[in-house]
Structure 1
Amino acid sequence: MSRGLIARETAISMAINSALNYGFSLLAFGGKAEVPVWGVGGLLFDLVPTCFMISLMGSVVPSLIKRRHLSPTPSTRFILLRGLLLALLAVLVLVPTVALLLRGTETLSLAAVLWLKLPLGAVLACCVTLWSLRGLLHREVSHA
């Protein structure tokens, strides 16, 4: 697996996850002028599944697509478990961090929510996809 392939897969992951993040953000908050930060239905509540799914899909999908090109082929179980651990880690790190950054803020405009969620999701997709694919590449090289 080459660096160019990893860069392309990472860009695709970022684009797909950003589009999904945008769509689900509009579904969740599109009819509101102001979005609550706290509580059920608020931004932080929404960040839990957002961070979890972006991390899980950004890790698992590219890894499963590329696994057949590797020798030795990593198991599906390994890829899924690693994806779940990354997703849990992302939620445990990012949601409290955003909560600290937004303490004292009760509501945000929809535009502010999108300016927060879209770059956060794109960076998260970039990080987990790069980390996952580089990990598979390192596994392949170390077993060669």
Structure 2
Amino acid sequence: MAVIDAYVRKETRISMAINAMLSLLIFLVVFGLHQPVESWGLGRWVFDFLPQSFMIALMSVLIPGAIAHKKLKKGVLAPVPHSTILPRNLLVRGLVLAGASAGIGTALVAGLVWLTGMEIIAPIPALLFKSTYGAILALIVTPPALRAALAA
């Protein structure tokens, strides 16, 4: 079991790093650093958490899950006893977690922005928040999704 735990930790760290970097790059393309970012409205900062959350969760399930499946088939990893409520099918599992992440994550960010009353956000803090959010979401989603992929 220690081998599996180490494998899950390693894949989770990789997922976190990739998703933090992708969040940073996409922020730069969408919002840039030249002016403050508006919080509310279609295509604005809070709205952007919908596609960001969906895609981060989806990729945090599909890519590590596909890699784990390949390693299981080759015998590099052995299936482990693990019960899960997540769907067995990789794509369905990804879509379920992506949909839940988009809804919950965006609602939490919207609530935080609403409670703080931030109508506009300076670009650097907005960028750092989105990049950190990408890493944290990968940290939350990748381990249970990967353990489900490795379940016997």
- Deviations along 1:41-75, whole A, 9 cap, x unmatched? 21012111100000000111100011123367xxx
Corresponding residue number in structure 2 for 1:97: 108
Query: Which of 30, 42, 45 is the equivalent residue of 1:28?
Result: 30
Q: CA RMSD in A?
A: 1.6
2:92 maps to which residue? 81
Give the conservation status (yes or no) of the 8 Å contact 2:15–2:138.
yes
Aligned to 1:6: 8
Matching residue of 1:112: 125
Q: What is the one-letter code of the residue matched to 1:88? A: G
The TM-score normalised by the length of structure 1 is: 0.87
Considering fraction of residues, name the structure with more helix. Answer: 1
Deviation at 1:31, TM superposition (A): 4.4
* Identity value in percent: 38
Take 1:63 and 1:8, find their aligned partners in 2: how far apart are those partners?
Answer: 13
The aligned residue for residue 60 of structure 1 is 62
The residue type equivalent to 1:81 in the other structure is V
Determine the structure 2 residue equivalent to 1:126: 139
Query: CA separation in 1, counterparts of 2:48 and 2:102?
Result: 11
Corresponding residue SS for 1:2: helix
TM-score, with length taken from structure 2: 0.82
Measured after TM superposition, the shift of residue 6 of structure 1 is 1.1
- Structure 1 segments of 4+ aligned residues over 2 angstroms from their partners: 68-72
Give the residue type in structure 2 aligned to 1:86: L
Structural mapping, 1:28-47, within 5 Å: 28-47=30-49
Residue 50 of structure 1 is matched in structure 2 by: 52
